[in-house]
Amino acid sequence: TSALINNSLQQRNSASASVSSFSIFQHSSKNFDDVTFIGNGAYGTVYKARDLANNGQFVALKKVKIPIGEDGFPVSTVREISLLKQLTFLDHPNVVKLLDICHGRRVENERQMLVYLVFEHVDQDLATYLERCPPPGLSTDLIKDLTYQLLNGLDFLHFNRVLHRDLKPQNVLISNKGIVKLADFGLARIYSEKIPLTSVVVTLWYRPPEVLLAQSYATAVDVWSAGCIFAELYRLKPLFPGENDADQLAKIFEVIGTPPEAEWPAEVSIAWATFRFYRGVPFQNVIPEICKDGADLLQSMLHFNPVERISCCEAMKHHYFKDYEMNPQIISKHFVNSSKPRTKT
């Protein structure tokens, strides 16, 4: 199995080649003591744990069941592990680090094995951060800082030809020092231009039209999700809380407008006439607190046509961030003082 993983790693680009000798099973899970259940990720359960081999420091332990076939671990597992190690090796401040991978036990009566992915522990996710936001909400400077760091992490992924594909507030972590970190790459994969990818990606409320319409997609899928999160920082509630795929598209078109029939993708099996025609509304009507530049950036991130959607690199240069200077202290200050839950609607 280790040979299979190492062979896969050696086929990666030069950045990952430096970690090609990495062995998947470095330590036993017995080195860790579970402390608190954190939540369920895309493919596994996450716990806060103590690393007994490193003075009991806190880590995030992701426990996943991996099916074992005749050829060992599935390609998807090899892909995720090599991807995580590659990103950790490149050491970007806005991407969570994979510290270790440990073997557990074979699951009885099943062709499965428990594997533990050990990540740096980050204090809070963005969903919890927003839930604890006291009135009257986040300041413009705070929203800028959170959004810029989010875009910076995504730009790093996209530069290295990686799609996140499951971006949502629960997968955006915030340290007590005010650093934003992207996490849970259970659905991530290296991309090659516009390629047909699996359709079950991105939590519904943050899912772009091209995914809802079962089209091929590329990095713009993450930009759309980031735009939804950007809007949520102002609203303190989701921008498009759809109940199913059709309702999700309807809620999107209510805001951005139904595209003209001439712009409807030819390869889509769902007819344009299926949807009610909406003219759309200005983003400043939907989000009264957002400034003109912020509304312009949001519109650029939420284009129906992914080709016209702004890139993360371009978004970071947008006029909205003019004179912006990263100041994670304002995030950490809010982190410490945020104790009153928001009203859930």
Residues of the binding site: 62
195 burial (CB, 10 Å; 0-12 / 13-18 / 19+) is exposed
Distances (CA, A) of 171 to 135, 137, 164, 334: 24, 21, 10, 19
Neighbours of 303 (CB within 10 A): 19
Helix (H) or strand (E) holding 146: helix 140-159
Structure tokens at 26: 């470095």
Do 233 and 287 meet the contact criterion of CB atoms below 8 Å apart?
no
Q: Which positions make up the binding site for ATP? A: 62
Known catalytic residues? 166
β-pairing, 112-120 vs 162-163, is unpaired
CA angle 230, 89, 161 (to 5 degrees): 55
Do 172 and 183 meet the contact criterion of CB atoms below 8 Å apart?
yes
Residue 304 makes CB contacts below 8 A (sequence gap 6+) with 209, 252, 256, 259, 263
